[in-house]
Amino acid sequence: MDPPKVLVIDDEEIARISCQRVLKREGIEVTLAGSGREGLDILMRERHDLVLVDLKMPEMDGVEVARRIRDYDPNIVTIIITGYATIESAVAVMKEGAYDYLPKPFTPDELIIVVRRGLEKRRLDQESRALREEKEAMERNFITMVTHQLRSPLAAIYQYIEVLLSDIGGERSGMQQEMLERIRERLNGLLELINDWLDLSRIQAGEIVHRLQSVPMSQCVDAALAGLELAAQEKQVKIITNIPSDLPLVQVDPDTFREVLSNLIANAIKYNRPQGEVYIRALEDGDRVVVEVEDTGLGVDDKEIPFIFDQFYRSKAKEIREQQGTGVGLAIVQKIVRAHGGKIEVRSERGKGSTFSVYLNRGPGAKTVDNAQRFA
């Protein structure tokens, strides 16, 4: 690894030289500058890890230098050298982005300690940035990998089974038919899991914030219900909605928020008792709007509540295990709600049912009128 590089900016030559002598002994490469301007020029030309800058200098003082360094590259660690009388201003400089200060006069050991600590911070910063970048790249590659390498072959297999099950591939015995149907069912579960996982990976909090708009809650609920009528009919579950007409608009990204509601409602149907009910209601709560999905189904054990939003967590209860599920749905829901700046809560009682409450920000006042008219 290259030796660390430190730039010393001080208008007093003796101070510069003595800093250089001490730091060189520590294996640190040192560059010297006699003024703020000269120092900044050097920084632009040559990468440095840390800058020691004297607070009191004619022309451009240490405050200004620290500020310009931060504007140029916030990752460069700046340490201010200051006389006793000016500790207050040293604190002011730290507000401008300096990392630490060193009161004059200082011993060589004091200088070394402060510089070492500054360099350590720089190293940790760089390391964590590199790790973060690596993690992000891995996540991106992983999504691509899952999509192409996993989903494509599964889809190819699935399509063979579709062809065999339709009569295109010729007739089958009852036993073969049954086995093929099982294969298709299991494969379908696997594809669903991959789809859910892809959903989870592509929810980027930052992107959701950019797509927020003010919409009426009733519109969100209708969109979510559109795909679920069949499932409700099959299980003979009744869906009862109660959205007050004077409810304020909510700030949501309609696409992802539909996923939230449809996931919650689909669960409320799936884990309900036959001929049970699902209540969907919304109410105002200060500057927030709450939407609740309540079911009359199996309920969740108190002990399991803390885990139900965890990725891949599935209840230990036998009745719940009997339903096909990927354990990703609620993790997606929570991730989307949080990206909206909202929160989700759950109340549940075994054998009676569960209520999921989603708290959302209401839309801004002025926009409300516009949109309310548009959607009216």
Report the C-alpha gap between 200 and 212 in whole angstroms. 19
Asked if 258 touches other proteins (CB under 8 A), the answer is no
Give min distance, CB of 159 to other proteins, in A.
4
Nearest residue (CB) to other proteins, 226 versus 369: 226
Tracing tokens 């632009």 back to the chain, one arrives at 44
Nearest residue (CB) to other proteins, 210 versus 318: 210
Q: Per CB under 8 A, which region of 51-59, 65-73, 124-132, 154-162 contacts other proteins?
A: 154-162
Nearest residue (CB) to other proteins, 160 versus 307: 160
Nearest residue (CB) to other proteins, 148 versus 350: 148
Give me the helix-helix angle, 62-72 and 36-45, nearest 10°: 20
Q: How far apart are the first and last CA of the chain?
A: 66
Give min distance, CB of 11 to other proteins, in A.
54
Q: Of 361, 370, 366, 365, which Cα lies nearest the Cα of 208?
A: 361
Give min distance, CB of 160 to other proteins, in A.
5
Say how many residues make up the chain.
376
Asked if 162 touches other proteins (CB under 8 A), the answer is yes
Report the C-alpha gap between 90 and 96 in whole angstroms. 10
Asked if 285 touches other proteins (CB under 8 A), the answer is no
Give min distance, CB of 43 to other proteins, in A.
39
In this chain, which of 3, 74, 169, 227 binds other proteins, going by CB under 8 A? 169
In this chain, which of 234, 255, 302, 349 binds other proteins, going by CB under 8 A? 255
Report the C-alpha gap between 194 and 183 in whole angstroms. 17
Asked if 163 touches other proteins (CB under 8 A), the answer is yes
Q: Per CB under 8 A, which region of 94-102, 146-154, 294-302, 336-344 contacts other proteins?
A: 146-154
- Residue 50's H or E segment, with its range, is strand 50-54
Asked if 1 touches other proteins (CB under 8 A), the answer is no
In this chain, which of 48, 122, 151, 235 binds other proteins, going by CB under 8 A? 151
Give min distance, CB of 175 to other proteins, in A.
22
In this chain, which of 95, 202, 321, 350 binds other proteins, going by CB under 8 A? 202
How many amino acids of this chain bind other proteins (CB under 8 A)?
21
Asked if 244 touches other proteins (CB under 8 A), the answer is no
Structure tokens of 298?
Answer: 């199996």
Q: Per CB under 8 A, which region of 63-71, 90-98, 152-160, 310-318 contacts other proteins?
A: 152-160
Give me the helix-helix angle, 174-202 and 108-145, nearest 10°: 150
Give me the helix-helix angle, 329-339 and 254-270, nearest 10°: 150
Asked if 140 touches other proteins (CB under 8 A), the answer is no
Asked if 166 touches other proteins (CB under 8 A), the answer is yes
Q: Phi, psi (5° rounding) for residue 2?
A: -65, 145
CA-only gyration radius of the chain, Å: 31
Query: Footprint of other proteins on residues 178-197 (CB under 8 A)?
Result: 191, 195
Collapsing DSSP to helix, strand or coil, 171 comes out as coil
Q: Per CB under 8 A, which region of 6-14, 165-173, 215-223, 327-335 contacts other proteins?
A: 165-173
Give min distance, CB of 234 to other proteins, in A.
19
User: Strand 250-252 to strand 277-285: parallel, antiparallel, or no bridges (unpaired)?
Assistant: unpaired
Structure tokens of 264?
Answer: 């919650």
Contact indicator for 265, 238 with CB cutoff of 8 Å: no
Work out the burial of residue 33: count CB atoms within 10 Å of its CB; fewer than 13 is exposed, 13-18 middle, 19 or more buried: buried
Structure tokens of 341?
Answer: 């700046």
C-alpha distances (whole Å) from 11 to each of 8, 130, 137, 228, 239 are: 10, 36, 45, 74, 78
In this chain, which of 60, 70, 100, 158 binds other proteins, going by CB under 8 A? 158
Asked if 310 touches other proteins (CB under 8 A), the answer is no
Contact indicator for 74, 97 with CB cutoff of 8 Å: yes
Footprint of other proteins (CB under 8 A): 147-148, 151-152, 154-160, 162-163, 166, 168-169, 191, 195, 198, 202, 255
